[in-house]
Structure 1
Amino acid sequence: MSDATILFVDDDADIQSAAKLLFARNGLRVIAAQDAIQAQAALIADTIDLVLLDLNYAPGARDGAEGLTLLTEIHVLCPGLPVIVVTGHSGVSIAVAAMRAGAVDFVMKPWNNARLTTLIAETLARTQRRAGQSGPESAGPVMIVQSEEMRSIIAFSERIAPTRAQVLISGPPGSGKTLLAKRIHSYSGTLVNSVLLDAEALSALPQAAGHWILRSVEALTPKLQRELADRLDGASPPRVFALSSLTLVDLDARLSARLMLHFAAARITLPPLAERRADIPVLAAHFLHYFASHHGVPEPTLNAARPETLQCRAWTQNIRELRALIERVVLFGEEAAFASDTTVPSDTPTLALSERALISAALRRHGFNITHAAKDLGITRPALYRRMARHAL
């Protein structure tokens, strides 16, 4: 089992240190992660051969819920990657639940060194034999969320994933539409690969069915809209994940009513990053860990006040803008990266920006129902219309 890489997810630094010493004597490389965010970053930045997974990371947690959720994510990110559960407080019953959820085995803390190393060696040998027969499996998409709004969107996407429902995902550029579509596809359980299509470049629809991720769906010509509606009316239609940066109101004006009906059941609207403030610190932490691993440099620590500062920015290009900024932090240091940062107007939100964000959030919450949004904001409908015109909403 020499040269294999193990990802060990455990919030206890002393246990991590003991494990590294043990595994180093057996020729194993260990990547340490203290929680789900660090684990997900490692899975997409490194080639991992096996995961040792503790089930609790938050102080006082004993129910194993965090670890079981991460176990599901691991199976989506890296199908076939073996996971051995390491448990103490959670007990055998939670470990058994983890086995039912796809873990290959479990060990109890404090573990027996000889048994653990033997178990790892046997598991790696089995995995290598299977890999030789079927070839390596690629990592899937990862979404880092903390806000309640995004948690609800992820939960909804997981409910519809195993179905055949056509899905419409709208949201501003850089908000994660393609990533979410890929994640839904990964959770669908299908063995068919998804096909990424750009409507702007399409002159004809693919002949094969399968799963299509169709970007800029509003750019389909009237002829292709009719053909797609015909295909979706057929006996064996493709499953389409239609993506757009337009609002639902604008999409209704651009796409035929017949085609829009196919996407009536499962519609998801991703909010701008500036309206998901709780997601910004965890995304920043994720990108710090990811780019440090990716570039092979030490992971920097942001100034304690920086996450709150980041939450006040406009993020006109959303997540991809935050990603680019954090990569500069990893490569050049915090002060140099922020000193050269010209992509974001200001650390301090203006009154107009705050008002625009509040109005936009209310409109989205109420599906652009002006009456309900105005009531939510405590203003009249005419006043809301005036503010929408002022902010070009």
Structure 2
Amino acid sequence: MKNSRILIIDDDPDVLTAVRLLLKQQVDKVITEHNPEQIPSILAKETPDLVLLDMNFKSTLNTGNEGLYWLSRIKAIKPDLPVVMITAYGAIDLAVTSLKQGAADFVVKPWQNEQLIGVITGLLSKKDRKRATNPAKSMDSEFIGQSEVVLDLLYKVNKIAPTDANILVLGENGTGKDLIATAIHKQSARSDRPFIKVDVGALTETLFESELFGHKKGAFTDAREDRVGRFEAANGGTLFLDEIGNISLQQQAKLLSVLQNRQVIPLGSNTPIPIDIRLVCATNVPLADLANENRFRKDLIYRINTVDLQVPPLRERGDDILRIARYFLQKYAEKYRKAIVDFDQGAAQKLLRYHYPGNVRELQYSIERAVIMADGEILGAEDLIFSAIEQTSQSQSVQRQLPEEHNLVELERITIANVVEKHGGNISKAAKELGITRTALYRRLSKYDL
């Protein structure tokens, strides 16, 4: 309890004083507030570990059920924050209802001091254990999520990161592949060594070798001094090659040679330099497409893909959308010095319904824009404007894929190709979305030579 912060909200000043005196020697900080209307702004500024919340206030708002109302507001802002309800003996039924609506526990007035301390200690200990075992909380990264698909991904990261296996991170643009790569490095045995990131998809043929392998002075016209390549700079640590699906076959051949021989030869030199790196690669190209021999060498895939991790698109992550949105809301409210504390129900529903072709990156920019333009403390649906660029791009992409003539065979072929690509080559998921069996899907893939 020593490092914990407790927030207590009660309109009885005697209760606030009693709890503050009881806990001030037990915890790091006690925050007291008599007006529940201040809860959103307090949670925007403070990071309490536990809340003690009275069930009844003198306000006319939701008389008799004020505690339940403010419990729902707290859980909407900070879903994982434990809340203990304070109730009078005659309102125990209401307190039991609060447990069903997300409260962690309740105490009855007047309480025994030992009982109250026991409840608080137990909940804080439980929270610490959950933080230690929950991969979404233990990862030292900004990858936020509690959805099933994300917890599964983070479980795999925790299992794989301590090894030296090469990892291929797959996922659409804007899903957070770089955060996963960073988390892998931070949880590896190489965490105290360099983490070097290279966007290899942006390198031209002439820059590729110089950037990755280095060069000697005079190796080419503009080589005025020796340069250490990214492989050598990452020696002993992790090398993250982003957008690897976009490199040419010639570049792939050079990369494969380095990975096979575990050494680089800088341009203008004949002396090989041994390298010891852990390789993490990422691409937005589905693995099935990546394995096409005409686009990507299969022998290189085997080198970079000891284990592959699929980062789910934002539209498949459910309530994580609100968790991430609130993270960006707090971040940009602080950056632009705005007193914005939450979304109203309409805004929350709009966030959950949108399909996010630009994924987390699009959500981030939309929240930043909303914070800049907003005037009040609560963002409404009208404040949220999603990227016209992403929607136009997606619309044009779909239009290009559709055939000019409405040929049913061609429509079926394109639909199957799109759904299989969407699920990264996962036949089970693709078959489920198409409403056919795996066997039927395999027959159609063979029929259309997909």
Fold shared, TM-score > 0.5 on shorter chain: yes
Contact 1:215-1:243 at 8 Å conserved across structures:
yes
Whether 1:381 aligns to 2:396 is no
CA RMSD of aligned residues (A): 5.1
Question: What TM-score comes out, normalization by structure 1 length?
Answer: 0.60
Deviations 1:261-311 (A, max 9, x none): 133432011122122233211111111122112333212432202222222
Where 1:32 maps in the other structure, the secondary structure is coil
Compute the displacement of 1:179 (Å): 0.9
2:287 match: 248
Question: What TM-score comes out, normalization by structure 2 length?
Answer: 0.53
Deviations 1:100-131 (A, max 9, x none): 96xxxxxxxxxxxxxxxxxxxxxxxxxxxxxx
Moved more, 371-380 or 266-275: 371-380
Distance 1:34 1:92, change over 3 A: closer
Cα distance in 2 between the residues matched to 1:54 and 1:252: 47
Cα distance in 1 between the residues matched to 2:349 and 2:287: 32
Cα distance in 1 between the residues matched to 2:371 and 2:353: 21
2:110 match: none
Contact 2:144-2:323 at 8 Å conserved across structures:
yes
Distance 1:176 1:357, change over 3 A: farther
Whether 1:265 aligns to 2:306 is yes
2:348 match: 307
Distance 1:340 1:322, change over 3 A: closer
Distance 1:369 1:296, change over 3 A: closer
2:136 match: none
Contact 2:193-2:237 at 8 Å conserved across structures:
yes
Match of 1:342 among 388, 393, 406: 388
Contact 2:279-2:304 at 8 Å conserved across structures:
no
2:327 match: 286
1:31 match: 46
Match of 1:368 among 403, 421, 425: 425
Cα distance in 2 between the residues matched to 1:16 and 1:341: 47
The aligned amino acid for 1:210 is G
Compute the displacement of 1:89 (Å): 3.8
The aligned amino acid for 2:314 is L
Within a 5 Å distance, the mapping from 1:15-94 to structure 2 comes to 31-33=46-48, 59-61=102-104, 88-91=119-122, 94=125
Compute the displacement of 1:359 (Å): 9.1
Contact 1:362-1:377 at 8 Å conserved across structures:
no
Cα distance in 2 between the residues matched to 1:262 and 1:324: 36
Compute the displacement of 1:157 (Å): 0.6
Cα distance in 2 between the residues matched to 1:16 and 1:181: 46
Contact 1:374-1:381 at 8 Å conserved across structures:
yes
Cα distance in 1 between the residues matched to 2:421 and 2:445: 11
Whether 1:215 aligns to 2:242 is yes
Contact 1:176-1:270 at 8 Å conserved across structures:
yes
Q: Which has the larger radius of gyration?
A: 2
Deviations 1:196-228 (A, max 9, x none): 112133333322241111111234412223223
Cα distance in 1 between the residues matched to 2:184 and 2:281: 12
Cα distance in 1 between the residues matched to 2:420 and 2:148: 15
Distance 1:357 1:176, change over 3 A: farther
Distance 1:368 1:331, change over 3 A: same
Compute the displacement of 1:244 (Å): 0.7
Compute the displacement of 1:230 (Å): 2.7
Deviations 1:135-161 (A, max 9, x none): xxxx95211113211110011111111
Contact 2:144-2:320 at 8 Å conserved across structures:
yes
1:296 match: 337
2:170 match: 170
1:187 match: 187
Contact 1:210-1:238 at 8 Å conserved across structures:
yes
Cα distance in 2 between the residues matched to 1:255 and 1:377: 28
Compute the displacement of 1:238 (Å): 0.7
Compute the displacement of 1:92 (Å): 10
Match of 2:261 among 220, 223, 230: 230
Contact 2:362-2:387 at 8 Å conserved across structures:
no
Deviations 1:300-331 (A, max 9, x none): 43220222222222312110110011112222
Contact 2:370-2:385 at 8 Å conserved across structures:
no
Q: Which runs of 5+ in 1 are unaligned?
A: 1-6, 43-52, 63-85, 102-138
Cα distance in 2 between the residues matched to 1:371 and 1:91: 43
Contact 1:281-1:307 at 8 Å conserved across structures:
yes
Contact 2:288-2:421 at 8 Å conserved across structures:
no
Within a 5 Å distance, the mapping from 1:118-129 to structure 2 comes to none
Moved more, 183-192 or 371-380: 371-380
Distance 1:8 1:278, change over 3 A: same
How many residues align? The count is: 302
Contact 1:273-1:319 at 8 Å conserved across structures:
yes
Cα distance in 1 between the residues matched to 2:419 and 2:120: 41
Contact 2:420-2:427 at 8 Å conserved across structures:
no
Give percent identity, aligned residues only.
24
Distance 1:180 1:96, change over 3 A: closer
